[in-house]
């Protein structure tokens, strides 16, 4: 079918993590290149793709609730077709079709390349209601460019798909397949296109970023990739998410002091700090080695920010094991920390373990971790007061003289922000523009966010009245 014959508009709803957002942008890119127009509003679209998450029970419920909301538009005759894609489709397959009759088609993560054929068949042909799942061994990186959504100056870049780790609490390998790396030249080509489009910050994502390249190059090739990206003109910041403790190398540590673009920020989910719990989780690294690595990373570059996530209430977690975790988090002081109460998931080894911890206790322990971390983050943020930081402006309030920005230690839509006091509201605020870097003086701090004034404005204040 020629693109000129495609008169319908498409909208994609994304749920879950940044990796899912990249998938949605790839889906939109393929449909847009085929001739479909893209609608940011599902109510104006002829076909909606709901790209789902199914990592946890809560995320599955959120996916189902969203599907039902979109299905209402179809019941009302305002929507022609509904496709459900992503991990929920892969995890439950045709059972979803049986439960929600408004769904026209399912596409799993291994069959996104069929999205144009499916859309054409549903809208202009006689494609029957059905599903395409499986094929998790296919090359997932053959359909760029994406339609980048959200911020024009910041984008995620997925460097691999799937995962070879066997963590007992995680179902991702069953939903995404084995680890498959993307060639360095393909990634660099995409980064170059993004830079040409005005993107200044790249955040590297994958199920396990530090194992990048092992399948293609028989080595941990993340340092080579980072050095190649460092040569791309226009890119100012490169950020690493989802690093796995076992696969860090000295060469990767050296990149933080060597490369102009790699910001001093590392996200490394440790999950726990008790060897016995980590063994039940099948994390693959002893706790002492992980702790030593964290110290090395913290010392790898000035101003290093470390983010992690932990799980409370894992099967069999004793009071003593939880106290080990709490004690380490108190002593080490992560800059940013997420905590999740363990979720019993069907299809995972942990879900079948004896000694499942009571749900109320899981949540109670999670609350204790977050309460402790709130005080830690507040203390660390207060150390920033009086300092001058370079920040990237994400947006400017339309009605108030405030801009939202981030310094190198704050990942987009994951960590806190810097609230910058500016001289006017709206996108044309003097001296501060969306997508631009600006030097600011930190004047206030909370447990998550900082408050700042543009350094140029501070410099204009007479020294005797500067505060």
Binding-site residue ranges for [4Fe-4S] cluster:
17, 53, 87, 163, 167, 170
22 sits in which H/E element: helix 18-33
Question: Taking the CA of residue 375 as centre, how many other CA atoms within 13 Å lie in the half-sphere pointing to its CB?
Answer: 8
Q: Is-contact 186 139, C-beta < 8 A? A: no
> Phi/psi of residue 419, each to 5°?
-90, 115
Do the strands 388-396 and 402-406 form a parallel or antiparallel pair, or are they unpaired?
A: antiparallel
Bind-site residues: 17, 53, 87, 163, 167, 170
- Residue 132 in tokens: 């395409």
- Distance, CA of 454 to CA of 388 (rounded, Å): 9
Residues 6+ apart with CB under 8 A from 377: 335, 336, 337, 447, 448
Residues 6+ apart with CB under 8 A from 214: 179, 181, 220, 221, 247
Q: Is-contact 97 84, C-beta < 8 A? A: no
Q: Is-contact 448 454, C-beta < 8 A? A: no
Question: Taking the CA of residue 90 as centre, how many other CA atoms within 13 Å lie in the half-sphere pointing to its CB?
Answer: 24
Long-range (24+ apart) CB contacts under 8 A made by 88-93 are: 88/52, 88/53, 88/54, 88/60, 88/63, 88/64, 89/52, 89/131, 89/133, 90/54, 90/133, 90/134, 90/136, 90/174, 90/175, 91/54, 91/60, 91/171, 91/174, 91/175, 91/347, 92/54, 93/131, 93/133
**Concatenated DSSP letters for 79-92?**
-SEEEEEEHHHHHH
Residues in the chain, overall count: 467
Q: Is-contact 280 355, C-beta < 8 A? A: no
Do the strands 154-158 and 201-205 form a parallel or antiparallel pair, or are they unpaired?
A: parallel
Residues 6+ apart with CB under 8 A from 394: 151, 153, 154, 404, 405, 406, 412, 417, 434
């Amino acid at each position: 079918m020629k693109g000129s014959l495609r008169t319908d508009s498409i909208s994609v709803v994304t749920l879950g993590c940044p990796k899912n957002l990249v998938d949605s942008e790839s889906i939109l890119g393929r449909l847009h290149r085929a001739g479909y127009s893209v609608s940011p509003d599902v109510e104006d679209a002829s076909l909606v793709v709901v790209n789902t998450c199914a990592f946890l029970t809560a995320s599955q419920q959120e996916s189902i609730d969203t599907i039902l909301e979109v299905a209402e538009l179809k019941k009302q005759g305002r929507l022609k077709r509904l496709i459900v894609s992503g991990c929920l489709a892969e995890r439950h397959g045709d059972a979803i079709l049986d439960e929600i009759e408004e769904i026209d088609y399912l596409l799993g993560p291994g069959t996104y390349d069929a999205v144009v054929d499916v859309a054409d068949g549903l809208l202009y042909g006689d494609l029957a209601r059905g599903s395409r799942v499986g094929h998790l061994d296919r090359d997932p990186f053959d359909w760029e460019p994406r339609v980048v959504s959200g911020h024009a100056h910041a984008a995620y870049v997925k460097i691999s798909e799937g995962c070879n780790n066997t963590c007992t609490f995680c179902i991702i390998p069953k939903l995404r397949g084995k680890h498959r790396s993307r060639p360095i030249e393909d990634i660099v080509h995409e980064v170059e296109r993004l830079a040409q489009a005005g993107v200044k910050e790249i955040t590297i994502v994958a199920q396990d970023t530090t194992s990048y390249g092992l399948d293609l190059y028989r080595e941990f090739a993340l340092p080579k990739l980072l050095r190649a990206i460092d040569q791309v003109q226009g890119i100012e910041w490169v950020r690493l998410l989802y690093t796995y403790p076992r696969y860090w190398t000295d060469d990767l540590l050296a990149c933080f002091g060597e490369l102009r673009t790699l910001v001093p920020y590392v996200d490394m989910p440790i999950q726990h700090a008790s060897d016995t719990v980590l063994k039940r989780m099948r994390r693959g690294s002893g706790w002492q080695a992980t702790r030593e690595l964290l110290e090395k990373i913290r010392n790898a570059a000035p101003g290093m920010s470390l983010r992690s996530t932990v799980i409370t209430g894992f099967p069999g977690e004793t009071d003593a094991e939880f106290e080990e975790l709490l004690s380490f988090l108190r002593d080490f002081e992560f800059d940013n920390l997420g905590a999740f109460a363990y979720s019993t998931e069907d299809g995972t080894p942990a879900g079948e373990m004896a000694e499942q911890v009571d749900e109320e206790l899981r949540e109670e322990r999670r609350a204790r971790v977050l309460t402790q971390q709130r005080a830690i983050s507040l203390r660390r943020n207060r150390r920033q007061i009086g300092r001058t930081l370079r920040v990237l402006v994400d947006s400017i309030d339309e009605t108030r003289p405030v801009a939202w920005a981030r310094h190198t230690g704050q990942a987009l839509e994951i960590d806190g922000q810097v609230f910058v006091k500016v001289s006017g509201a709206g996108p044309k605020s003097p001296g501060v523009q969306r997508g631009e870097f600006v030097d600011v003086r930190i004047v206030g701090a909370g447990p998550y966010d900082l408050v700042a004034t543009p350094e140029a404005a501070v410099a204009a204040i007479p020294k005797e009245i500067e505060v």
